[in-house]
Structure 1
Amino acid sequence: MRRRKCFFSKSMFRDALTALLVVTFGTSTWVSNGGLWVETPLLTSIGVPEGYKIGSYFIMVTQAAIIGPLIFATCQYFAPKDRHLEIPAICVTLAVGVTASFILIFFWNFHSIWSLDGSEHSTALLTLVFFMSLVDSTSNLTFLPFISSLKSKYLNWYFIGEGLSSVIPSIVVLIQGSGGDDKCVANHTFIDTTKDPVSNVTFTENCTTYMVQKTGHALFPPELYYTFIFLLFILSTISFCLLRCLPIIQEQYEDDFDVETSDETEDKTCFSCFKRCKRRRNNPEQISLLNFQSHRVKGTREERLNKVKTIAPSLFDHTNSEDSGVISEEHETDLSRKSDDDEANGSLTREVVQRDRDQTGSRILNEEGGVNDDPSTSKKSKSSFSKKHIFLFIILTVISSLIYGALPSIQSYSAGGYGSHTYLLVTAFAEISVPIGFVLVMIRPTTSILIVLLTCFTGILAGTYCMVVATLSPTPPLQGQIWGQILIILAWIFQGISFSYCRATIAWILRNDGGYRVSMMIFGGCTTLGTLIGAFVMFPLINVFELFEGFNPAQGCTDKVTCVMLGNETASLM
């Protein structure tokens, strides 16, 4: 009776805790592509050696981190078929991310001359960004399969966490500021005297030269911001450990997911997080209860409970519940609660999930008492890809090449011409728009291919406008006008929402079509491949052929000289 009065049940607490941990775990997925990226306006403003080209260097460095997924794929290929390496790979990548983000706090402004081009570069910054990018690139192949081992409702929570890996740093950067816009101020005044040789008239002018001056300062330096990024990695690592450690979370895994450990130890500390025992599937009582399809038993509550006890007595055995691999007390309470709720219609409803790893898939006892072989709620042991899947993978590769490769490379050229403040807003809101698409999919998911095409087309239109503006830099359209700033900000927001919605919808379709582990790995592979294509296409266009020209307020300012006529004198003839 006491448990029945509890409003916030144990299952509700378990679901909320799991969702929170999944979101926090997902915040480390795109820290370098999101969290570090939004700091580029301030880095450009304080004068990093790369200037507006810092974006293209960031993209190339993050693509060099593809070595992480290649190493993982190679190890997985040569590993035994029943051995999944996602868990140890996640442990290694998170350790690398924590270490690199900690070092970045102290050495982000270390510069050196590169013999390759004889120019000064942000050596430490780019090197540490590479190691942090290992987390981003490897997460495409490891984080998604791990999250997919949980119940399917947590997939969208993971995407929200992935989006927050950019949103939270973006909010912090907006608070930090970009240091203000550059402004031309008077630097030096002098008297200039010139004589006209024809009229023999001397002109005297008061001339002024100008210099660039910042109109403000950032609220806090980059060191404190990188400390915040370090704390994000710490929280993500703790969340991963809790997802693996907490016994209450283990019920959130699908039954065909193995959490391997030895049965000889009862160690329940965090050192046993990565060594859980396999779920027992050969319990004859569970099989009997699964095959029992008629639960419409008339009578009192006790009679209906006794009927279930004859099928699976260990569900109500308080002494052997640990050995039987089921939770006796909670099952009895849940069955009692179900019985009271359904006493009016004389039916005992009990949903029992028993998934096997063989080709028969999962069998779910539905509320009518029958067996429901619903493919949308069961896992397929083998994945079969149709033309629809191949089409979705192609679209995913295209939008990944744009949103993660091409467009970020030209963001500084696209927004820099409108001022440092507009550049900061574009960078921040472009990252914030990403999880908005994920939330829309979570609120109303769809499997419509038409929706995928529409959102992809909308994103391409907005991205095309951003690209055209970048090619017109340093004098973009409507420069110096409020409408020009609004249009470029909206264009970056719309491309972020459209592409993220399209990407999350594709993941939802693949997740519901079965073969989730292989599908999610290919999903991550297509994302990495698309980003690689976009980066390798844009880097030579920016740094070799120099098709884009950055906005440099100092150039027009330092060359600016204004003169005011003071008077003229006519020389006397001797």
Structure 2
Amino acid sequence: MGSWVSINGLWVELPLVVPQIPEGWYLPSYLSVLIQMANVGPLFVTLMHRFRPGALNEAAVIYAVIGLGAAASFLLAFFWRETAVVAGAPRSVALLVLTFFLATVDCTSSVTFLPFMMRLKPRYLTTYYIGEGLSGLLPALVALVQGVGAVSCVNGTSNSSDGSVTFELQAQYQPANFSPEVFFFFLGAMMLVCLAAFLLLNYHPSVARERPVGYADRGKDKRKRAEQKPMMDPYRAAGQKPRSGFGTGSYSWTQVLYIFAILAWTNALTNVVLPSVQSYSCLPYGNNVYHLSATMAAVANPLACFVAMFFPIRSLLLLGVLTVTGSGVAAYVMGMAALSPCPLLVHETSGGVVIVLAWVLFILTLSYVKVIIGLILRDEGHSALVWCGAVVQLGSLLGAVTMFPVVSVYSFFSSGGPCNNRCK
């Protein structure tokens, strides 16, 4: 759960943080840029694995990553409101710097946590993905208890330029049950729990029995472990020559590129593209629909991983079908966001039901695809999982580069208010 819990937690806390800092609602745009800048972490790790295999101590990097995440989370609790004058204007320097450290931690987890799973039996990879899914669900549930985004619609008036007064419903946000400081302390405590869990994974005697057969935890054997024969090899019969120089050679280079293209595409959609327009696609149907879609999508992620634990179908054809299905649903969600604040069925109950179901189906299908690709690449060895993490970050980066100007610079999308929708 420590993989993305810090950044996911920061995102769900924005409604309470934004009103108290000088950046206002420009903060999400700054966060998107900082998260992509933090890809310097996975880039460094990937290059080290490529040019200096065996030189990087994976466990040491993970200890450093989790420790930095815990420290940054606790420091946020004390300094997130602090400002400094930069270029003649107050800026939340401490918040932005600490966010960069949190993003570096979370981005680097993709290229360290996944390869570490080579030290455990293949079946545990699905539980890794379940935990990664919970890293988004758990902060969302805590924010729900906190009361983030709780809004009530009250009668109010507004004055127009010609002096006339109009009566309309106005959004009134309810005070939170506890402060952002307490929430950041919770994030720090979560990272400490993750540190304790990782210590147990390295040193508890019972974990040693769950190592793969023939596993040797020595830096000199890393290249040998990367060449281990996969447990399941559906595309190459015994004694058949390798089909490529990738991993064990189970897949041709065309299939490898196909797998990585799907991985980059699904992560771009699920991590950046669709989340950046979630409010535009859901708020026109009402605040309750927006929160329900966010919560159900967070539940769908670990649910898809749980399904993959019992039905791990390693079929490249199925991956393609599910990717096309999820992308089609994503196109519908994107279309509703583009039509905001007047999407289809905006005044109908069915409209809210359809958009919630669309979000759930989108997350279910593409999360299952990501888990199955992880299982396939795990069978291909240690270096394949390193590249898996690198492509995950690459897909997210490309998604951010695409969506940032569309959403934040050119303001292509317009949101419907939680209480007033002027569509006729």
Contact 1:359 1:381 in 2 (8 A): no
Change (3 A) 1:248 1:556: closer
Aligned length: 407
Paired residues of 2:226 and 2:382 also in contact (CA < 8 A): no
- Give the CA deviation at 1:255: 4.6
CA change 1:491–1:125 in 2 (3 A) is farther
Amino acid at match of 2:274: L
Q: 1:492 aligns with which of 359, 365, 368?
A: 359
Distance 2:49 2:127 in 1: 27
Query: Are positions 1:144 and 2:118 aligned together?
Result: no
Q: Which structure has the bigger radius of gyration?
A: 1
AA in 1 matched with 2:261: I
Aligned match of 1:297: none
1:523 aligned to which of 340, 364, 388: 388
Give distance in 1, aligned partners of 2:99 and 2:319.
32
CA distance in 2, matches of 1:176, 1:456: 35
Q: Which residue of 2 aligns with 1:328?
A: none
Q: How does 1:376-395 map to 2 (within 5 A)?
A: 383-384=248-249, 385-386=251-252, 387-395=254-262
Q: CA deviation at 1:422?
A: 3.1
Change (3 A) 1:411 1:556: closer
* Equivalent in the alignment of 1:67: 40
Equivalent position SS for 1:252: coil
In the other structure, the counterpart of 2:401 is 536
CA drift of 1:211 comes to 8.1
Unpaired segments of 5 or more residues in structure 1?
1-26, 194-204, 262-277, 280-355, 365-372, 558-574
Partner of 1:427: 294
Offset at 1:441? 0.7
What whole-Å deviation, never above 9, does each CA across 1:165-188 have from its counterpart, x for those lacking one?
112222222222334335342459
Given candidates 501, 514, 518, the residue that maps to 2:368 is 501
Deviation of 1:209 (Å): 6.1
**What do the CA deviations read for 1:15-55 (whole angstroms, capped 9, x no partner)?**
xxxxxxxxxxxx011224533333345556x5766666554
Q: Measure, in 2, the Cα distance between the counterparts of 1:532 and 1:358.
A: 30
CA distance change for structure 1 residues 381 and 180 in 2, over 3 Å: closer, same or farther?
closer
TM-score by length of 1: 0.63
Please list, as runs of the form range in 1=range in 2, the aligned pairs for 1:42-441 lying within 5 A after superposition. Answer: 43=17, 46=19, 54-79=27-52, 81-110=53-82, 115=87, 122-181=92-151, 183-186=153-156, 212-214=170-172, 216-260=174-218, 357=224, 383-384=248-249, 385-386=251-252, 387-441=254-308
Query: Does structure 1 retain, via aligned residues, the 8 Å contact 2:70–2:187?
Result: no
1:492 and 1:110 map into 2 onto residues whose CA distance is 37
Q: Partners of 1:359 and 1:133 in 2: how far apart?
A: 28
Could you tell me whether the CA contact under 8 Å between 1:174 and 1:428 is conserved in 2?
A: no
Partner amino acid, structure 1, of 2:77: I
Between the aligned partners of 1:239 and 1:444, the Cα distance in structure 2 is 27
Query: What TM-score do the two structures reach when normalised by structure 2?
Result: 0.83
The residue type paired with residue 531 of structure 1 is S
| Alignment partners' CA distance in 2, 1:119 and 1:487 | 44
Inter-partner Cα distance in structure 1 for 2:324 and 2:290: 25
Distance 2:317 2:158 in 1: 63
By how many angstroms is 1:236 displaced? 0.6
Aligned residue type for 1:125: L
Q: Distance in 1 between matches of 2:226 and 2:207?
A: 27
Distance 1:43 1:420 in 2: 19
Amino acid in structure 2 at the alignment position of 1:417: P
CA shift, 1:84, in A, is 4.2
What is the rounded CA distance, in whole Å, between the counterparts of 1:208 and 1:525 in structure 2? 54
Distance 1:120 1:233 in 2: 30
Contact 2:158 2:168 in 1 (8 A): yes
Which runs of 5 or more residues in structure 2 are unaligned? 232-237
1:33 and 1:467, CA in 2 relative to 1: closer, same or farther beyond 3 A?
Answer: farther
User: Are the aligned partners of 1:105 and 1:227 in contact in 2 as well (CA < 8 Å)?
Assistant: yes
Conserved in 2, the CA contact under 8 Å of 1:413 and 1:551? yes
Please, which moves more after superposition, 518-527 or 480-489?
A: 480-489
Asked if structure 2 preserves the Cα contact closer than 8 Å seen for 1:59 and 1:535, the reply is yes
Deviations 1:210-230 (A, max 9, x none): 684516333333222222211
Larger fraction in helix: 2
- How big is the alpha-carbon RMSD for the aligned residues of Structure 1 and Structure 2? 3.6
CA distance in 2, matches of 1:65, 1:48: 22
Give the superposition deviation at 1:478: 3.4
Q: Which amino acid in structure 2 is aligned with residue 29 of structure 1?
A: S
Amino acid at match of 1:143: F
Provide the rounded CA distance (Å) in 1 between the counterparts of 2:68 and 2:225.
36
Letter in 2 for 1:60: V
| Equivalent in the alignment of 2:412 | 547
AA aligned opposite 2:65: T
Q: Percent identity?
A: 32
Tell which has more relative contact order, 1 or 2 (C-alpha 8 A, sep 6+): 2
Tell me the distance in 2 between the aligned counterparts of 1:51 and 1:475.
26
Please state whether the residue corresponding to 1:185 is helix, strand or coil.
strand
Change (3 A) 1:359 1:248: closer
Matched, 1:36 2:6: no
Shift of residue 251, structure 1, vs aligned partner: 2.6
CA contact (8 A) 1:97 1:233 kept: yes
Partner of 2:235: none
